[in-house]
Amino acid sequence: MLKQGSLTKQAKPQTRPVASIRPGDLSITQAALVGLGLFLIALLLRLPYLGDFMTIDEIKWVEGTGQFLLALHSGNLADTYWHFHPGITITWIEAIILWFAYLAAGSADLPTFVTEQMADISALIGLMRLSPVIITALGVGGLYWLARPLLGEWPAILAAGLLAADPFFTAHSRIVNGDAATAIFMMLALLAFARLWQKHRWSMVIVAGVMAGLAILTKIPGPIILPWLFLMAVVGVLHDKQWRFWLIAIAITGAVALLTFTILWPALWVAPIETLQRTFNDSFNVGEIGEGHETFFLGHISNDPGWRFYPYALAFRLTPLTVIGLAAGLIWLWRGRRRSSPITVSLVITLLIYIVYVLFVANISPKKLDRYGMAVIPAVMLVAGLGWVWLLAKIGPYIKHHALAHILSLPLLIVLLIFIQAILAMTHYPYLLTYYNPLLGGFARAANHVPVGWGEGMEQAAAWINAQPEASALTVSTWYSDMVKPYLHTQTTSFSSDGQGQLQANYVIFYINQEQRQKPSLPVVNYFRRQEPVFQVRYQDVPYVWVYPAPVMQTKASGNQKIEGRAELLGYSWDPLPPLQAGTDAHLTLFMLPLGQLPDNETFAITLEKEGALWGEWQPASALQWQTDTLVEWQGTLHLPPATPPGNYRLVVRLMDTNIDTEVTRFPLEDTTVVTP
């Protein structure tokens, strides 16, 4: 049986064997040391390999920091708005770090220094990631401190420890995107407000308001914490009937949140209305909050995968320890709550409803990613921490005669559980985002069911290409060009939906997240997928980065080169290169994007045209294999008769009806081909 201990400075932690474990109390000094230890655990787990790679959205966050710092420097405070997130808490610490880097470099000019840093974000990213690392590590310590009077010492310690070492939360704490920071700010606001159920303390009202303001300043879904705090105030009224206090408390909380929001965002000092209007408009126009976003889910691509997405995707992100603890917490609520503090019971019920609330709000938008549900993770860890301590207490009597029962104390078991959780994270360095719940099949199964891949491994593909002979002369095409470009020592070309950019490159990089969603189009994906990659990055025997050789198409067809219902001509390559010589053969490769089925009686013929006369005989290397789900690469030979007069010719690609040997139509090419004697 677990008993709720009182908070006294004289009480000392229990070190009884596991057969009779009870929650103990820590002095203020001891609790401070525990909080410091949890902060250090969180910090140390987030620092290794911090700058080894970049993820998809980080470039715009870092560039926003540069804009923010320069706006402060120039006094043009309206420019401290850089995104609708708005990302200000993360950006402030990034800007301070960048400022210290500027001072350390001894540069005479801040704008020049910032511009130079933004030119090579891959070298800067490790420093910028210190911002979310610091915020979330401090948040872990704060979560323990606020939760200990509500849950008890040991559940609070274990919950904070599980959160500090959780692979999913840790992974997003190590990248610049704001999701983990928002989640911890929201939970700190919730816990501070819940402390008012125990004792009406204005200090907790202030803390709740500040944390809510920081959450709103960081990222959506931060604003949804304020309605939740209002509901908690209603619960407080129902509990103690002191409606005046709760009315004042929620009003002060909102006012402090607004004050925090305003004080920390300089753009609001000079242009409050315009800044808020931009934030609202950009949320829909840029962030596409109300619009669908192609998402891979359960083997299908959908603009809105529905309500099942978040429970399923987040279950893949939990660890076995968290799952066991969460299940135990639910059983505790069913069977064990009667012997626990009413405050503890109320908090656990609140946390469970909060999880449903966050997921419900997240589900409103058709745009869905697992990180948008990050705000539930701290709540899950709090319930899991309580569940584990209750479970250990329940199994104690059954093993009291075992030799280990007299060795294992509750603190030791808690440390062991946190250590196991940390091992799960550390075994996935440097790519913590590749962690998926082994109970559900791990990464291999996740790759077939939920979106995976944040950009990890792309730097390895870039390194392989950089190691090729004459790499600086190569051209590379990749869907995530902004993220890969800082690592490449090559030129880059577009990654177009019709495939033109890819066909002109030397190499094409494909990524698992892109391939899951068949980006940029199924024909382009299939064209390269049917080739043998020259380089792969694999994880748990699942490839998730591919480097394919590309055909280096010589000439890109310009203009609208479409025959409706049949094909779009993308370009072609000659061998040898023009000028062509009369009386010789020239090898030609056409690249086309099918726009529909090609009837059996239709094919394409290639000739040269001058002054209305057609010259040359087309001999395809093989029959035209027409498949609408892939690009068509068709090779053949154009034989020019010796009598071909020299001059400028137009390349003609005609659609022919073979039944009557008649031209149906042709691509409107205007390209000039020179023929010499």
CA distance linking residue 222 with residue 212, whole number of Å = 7
Average pLDDT of span 488-509: 91
Q: Is the pLDDT of residue 134 over 60?
A: yes
Which token pair is 191? 């816990």
**Type of residue numbered 632:** V
Q: Is the pLDDT of residue 485 over 50?
A: yes
Q: Is the pLDDT of residue 14 over 90?
A: no
Q: Is the pLDDT of residue 1 over 50?
A: no
Phi, psi of 366 (to 5 degrees): -70, -15
pLDDT of residue 243: 92
CA distance linking residue 316 with residue 332, whole number of Å = 24
CA distance linking residue 558 with residue 569, whole number of Å = 9
pLDDT band at 210 (very low <50, low <70, confident <90, very high): very high
DSSP 178-220: SHHHHHHHHHHHHHHHHGGGT---HHHHHHHHHHHHHHHHH-T
Closest Cα partner for 394 from 8, 7, 19?
19
pLDDT of residue 495: 86
Average pLDDT of span 128-149: 98
Closest Cα partner for 140 from 155, 162, 119?
162
3-state secondary structure 558-611: CCCCEECCCEEEEEEEEECCCCEECCCEEEEEEEEEECCCCCCCEEEEEEEEEC
pLDDT band at 12 (very low <50, low <70, confident <90, very high): very low
Average pLDDT of span 254-274: 97
CA distance linking residue 374 with residue 141, whole number of Å = 18
Which token pair is 253? 């909380």
pLDDT of residue 403: 57
pLDDT of residue 26: 80
Q: Is the pLDDT of residue 621 over 90?
A: no
pLDDT tens sequence across 32-54: 999 999 999 999 999 999 999 99
What letter would DSSP give residue 19? G
Q: Is the pLDDT of residue 255 over 60?
A: yes
Number of H helices and E strands in the chain, helices first, is: 25, 19
Average pLDDT, the chain: 91
Taking residue 334's Cβ as centre, other Cβ atoms within 10 Å add up to: 8
pLDDT band at 286 (very low <50, low <70, confident <90, very high): low
Average pLDDT of span 629-634: 93
Q: Is the pLDDT of residue 616 over 70?
A: yes
Q: Is the pLDDT of residue 20 over 60?
A: no
All domains in the chain, ordered by first residue: 62-128 (no CATH), 179-218+221-288 (no CATH), 458-549 (no CATH), 565-676 (2.60.40.770)
pLDDT of residue 598: 92
pLDDT of residue 10: 37
The sign one gets for the Cα dihedral 439, 441, 443, 445 is: negative
Which of 11-25, 259-273, 487-501, 560-574 is predicted with the least confidence, judged by mean pLDDT? 11-25
CA distance linking residue 505 with residue 520, whole number of Å = 16
Percent of the chain scoring above 90 in pLDDT: 76
Higher per-residue confidence, 2 vs 676: 676
Average pLDDT of span 598-603: 92
Contacts 24+ apart (CB under 8 A), 466-472: 466/490
Q: Is the pLDDT of residue 281 over 90?
A: no
Average pLDDT of span 498-510: 94
Say how far residue 521 (Cα) sits from the centre of its chain: 21
Which token pair is 411? 């603190």
The alpha helices in 287-374, defined as continuous H runs, are: 309-315, 320-331, 342-364
200: left (phi > 0), else alpha (psi -120 to 50), else beta?
Answer: beta
437 and 315 Cβ atoms separated by less than 8 Å = yes
Q: What is the pTM of this model?
A: 0.90
Taking residue 198's Cβ as centre, other Cβ atoms within 10 Å add up to: 15
pLDDT tens sequence across 412-451: 899 999 999 999 999 999 999 999 999 999 999 999 999 9
pLDDT tens sequence across 173-200: 999 999 999 999 999 999 999 999 999 9
pLDDT of residue 11: 39
pLDDT tens sequence across 220-232: 889 999 999 999 9
Q: Is the pLDDT of residue 154 over 90?
A: yes
Helix orientation angle between 153-165 and 376-395, rounded to the nearest 10 degrees: 130
Q: Which residues are registered as beta bridge partners of 543?
A: 538
pLDDT tens sequence across 345-371: 999 999 999 999 999 999 998 889 999
CA atoms within 13 A on the CB side of 110: 15
DSSP, collapsed to helix, strand or coil, labels residue 376 as: helix
Which token pair is 123? 């070298």
Higher per-residue confidence, 334 vs 338: 334
pLDDT band at 404 (very low <50, low <70, confident <90, very high): low
Q: Is the pLDDT of residue 21 over 90?
A: no
User: Strand 562-563 vs strand 580-581: parallel, antiparallel, or unpaired?
Assistant: unpaired
pLDDT of residue 166: 98
Q: Is the pLDDT of residue 406 over 90?
A: no
Contacts of 6 (CB under 8 A, 6+ apart): 25
CA distance linking residue 564 with residue 192, whole number of Å = 64
Percent of the chain scoring above 70 in pLDDT: 93
Closest Cα partner for 87 from 214, 172, 186?
214
The sign one gets for the Cα dihedral 285, 287, 291, 293 is: positive
CA distance linking residue 129 with residue 127, whole number of Å = 5
Q: Is the pLDDT of residue 407 over 90?
A: no
Q: How far apart are the first and last CA of the chain?
A: 100
pLDDT of residue 405: 59
Q: Is the pLDDT of residue 252 over 80?
A: yes
Taking residue 78's Cβ as centre, other Cβ atoms within 10 Å add up to: 15
CA distance linking residue 280 with residue 85, whole number of Å = 10
Which token pair is 9? 């400075």
pLDDT of residue 132: 98
Average pLDDT of span 640-661: 91
Helix orientation angle between 153-165 and 320-331, rounded to the nearest 10 degrees: 150
User: Strand 662-666 vs strand 672-676: parallel, antiparallel, or unpaired?
Assistant: unpaired
C-alpha gyration radius of the chain: 31
User: Strand 602-610 vs strand 613-615: parallel, antiparallel, or unpaired?
Assistant: antiparallel
